[in-house]
């Protein structure tokens, strides 16, 4: 992965960004690493600040607010979505995706009052009529949350399967159930024929339209936190509320083939 | 008692904690009946709606909603319908 190539090729605390392609899925974990480990680029410049300045120019990038003032946080999410093009999925779909991912970050990643960093980045590919949106946090991770909630699972990719299926740690009753990831996957993959990548600790799933692949990440590729990356096509999702309804069957059940990475 | 949600929380209702805290406040007030005015609320997340109905079901107070726009009513109706199962 591009992020790993950059990190693995660093020299002391200095990283080389000349081949960086600004793919949101690579940029956000890189930002987290730069912030946490105080990496440098040319002439001892702080790598995190360097990337932040570049990203602000033409890619919608921001850290998610840590104010814990929910009105401020809601205002931030509204302003962020207004900068996106609602022809990608629709305003409601974009708002739903970003709101539910933010809910997950705030609810699940800050357990135990541990400081968690979280970021959102969006990039337009105008020529190909696609929009990438990536949200990342360096918090508990999906498997970590399941362990804290005493939920059984055998491997980290199975934890992701549960999270996007019909399961939640919030409650077992239909109306109380947390359904963020499940509904996002359906809106993107089924409603927009888009793509979604979810990476959390040693588990990963890549869904594109009706196809999906689960991965088990080796220890050297382990991701401490959760990354959700979405690619939307330039058309509006129809039948939104049908896609939000709970289902009895998980359309993304592990089918026996797990890829190693 | 009437509570305008746009003023009490925000015109966008994103977070499940907002719903929980709203009903914590309602449950601690002396009034028995509340009208929640959703005028100028432009967005309700699924997380908020779920927490709202879960809290409403547990609350001893009588709570009704008014001025739900076409933008937000479908979400509230969908979650309320799921409540029945």
Write the ipTM: 0.90
Determine the average pLDDT of the residues in B33-47: 96
Instruction: Specify whether A217 is located in the same domain as A88.
Output: yes
Residues A36 and A87 in one domain: no
Cβ-in-10-Å burial (0-12, 13-18, 19+) of A210 comes to: exposed
* pLDDT band at residue A106 using 50, 70 and 90 as cut-offs: confident
Reply yes or no on whether the pLDDT at A111 is more than 60. Answer: no
| A73 CB within 8 Å of a chain B CB | yes
A173 shares a domain with A91: yes
- Domain that includes residue A247, residue range: 62-260
The pLDDT value given to residue B85: 46
User: Number of A:B CB contacts under 8 A?
Assistant: 82
Q: How far apart are CA A178 and CA A181, in angstroms?
A: 8
Please give, rounded to a whole number of angstroms, the shortest distance from the CA of B30 to a CA of chain A.
25
Alpha-helix runs per DSSP H in chain A: 2-8, 24-37, 47-58, 70-82, 91-108, 142-148, 156-164, 180-185, 240-244
Q: Any chain B CB within 8 A of the CB of A246?
A: yes
Given A58, A87, A102, the domain boundary residue is A58
Q: A32 and A134, same structural domain? A: no
What mean pLDDT is reported for chain A? Answer: 82
- Establish if A99 touches chain B: CB-CB under 8 angstroms: yes
Among A77, A103, A171, the residue with its CB nearest the CB of B12 is A77
CB A100 to CB B46 under 8 A? yes
Domain check: are A99 and A228 in the same one?
yes
For residue A177, which of A117, A234, A243, A244 has the smallest C-alpha distance? Answer: A244
The verdict on A23 and A106 lying in the same domain is no
B27 and chain A in contact, CB less than 8 A: no
Number of domains in chain A: 2
CB proximity A78 to B under 8 Å: yes
CATH code of A196's domain: 3.30.565.10
Report the predicted TM-score, pTM, of the whole model to 2 decimal places: 0.84
Whether residue B66 is predicted with pLDDT greater than 90 in this model: the reply is: yes
A39, A58, A77: which is the final residue of a domain? Answer: A58
Q: Do A67 and A53 share a structural domain?
A: no
Is A99 in the same domain as A218? yes
pLDDT category, A260, cuts 50, 70, 90?
A: low
8 Å CB contact of A183 and B46 = yes
Q: Please tell me whether residues A53 and A77 are part of one structural domain.
A: no
Residue A178, min C-alpha distance to chain B (Å): 7
């Amino acid at each position: 992965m591009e992020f790993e190539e950059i990190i693995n090729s660093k020299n002391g605390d200095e990283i080389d960004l000349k081949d960086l392609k600004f793919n949101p899925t690579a940029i956000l974990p890189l930002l987290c690493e730069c912030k946490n480990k105080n990496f440098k680029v040319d002439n001892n410049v702080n790598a995190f600040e360097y990337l932040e300045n570049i990203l602000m120019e033409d890619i919608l990038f921001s850290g998610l607010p840590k104010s814990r003032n929910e009105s401020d946080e809601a205002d931030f999410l509204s302003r962020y979505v207004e900068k996106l093009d609602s022809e990608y999925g629709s305003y409601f779909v974009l708002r739903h995706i970003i709101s539910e991912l933010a809910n997950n970050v705030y609810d699940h990643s800050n357990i135990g009052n541990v400081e968690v960093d979280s970021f959102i980045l969006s990039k337009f590919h105008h020529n190909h009529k696609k929009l990438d949106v990536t949200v990342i946090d360096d918090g508990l991770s999906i498997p970590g949350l399941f362990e804290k909630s005493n939920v059984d699972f055998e491997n980290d990719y199975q934890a992701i399967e549960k999270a996007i299926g019909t399961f939640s740690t919030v409650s077992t009753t239909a109306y109380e159930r947390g359904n963020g990831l499940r509904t996002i996957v359906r809106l993107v993959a089924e409603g927009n024929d888009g793509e979604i990548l979810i990476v959390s600790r040693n588990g990963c799933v890549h869904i594109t339209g009706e196809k999906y692949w689960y991965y088990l990440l080796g220890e050297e590729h382990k991701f401490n936190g959760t990354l959700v990356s979405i690619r939307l096509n330039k058309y509006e999702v129809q039948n939104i509320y049908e896609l939000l309804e709970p289902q009895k069957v998980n359309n993304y059940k592990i089918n026996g083939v797990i890829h190693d990475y | 008692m009437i509570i305008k949600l746009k003023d009490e929380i925000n015109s966008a209702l994103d977070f499940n904690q907002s719903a929980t805290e709203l009903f914590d406040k309602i449950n601690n007030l002396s009034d028995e009946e509340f009208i929640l005015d959703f005028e100028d609320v432009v967005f309700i997340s699924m997380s908020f709606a779920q927490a709202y109905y879960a809290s409403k079901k547990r609350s001893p107070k009588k709570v009704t909603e008014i001025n739900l726009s076409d933008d937000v009513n479908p979400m509230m109706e969908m979650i309320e319908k799921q409540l029945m199962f």
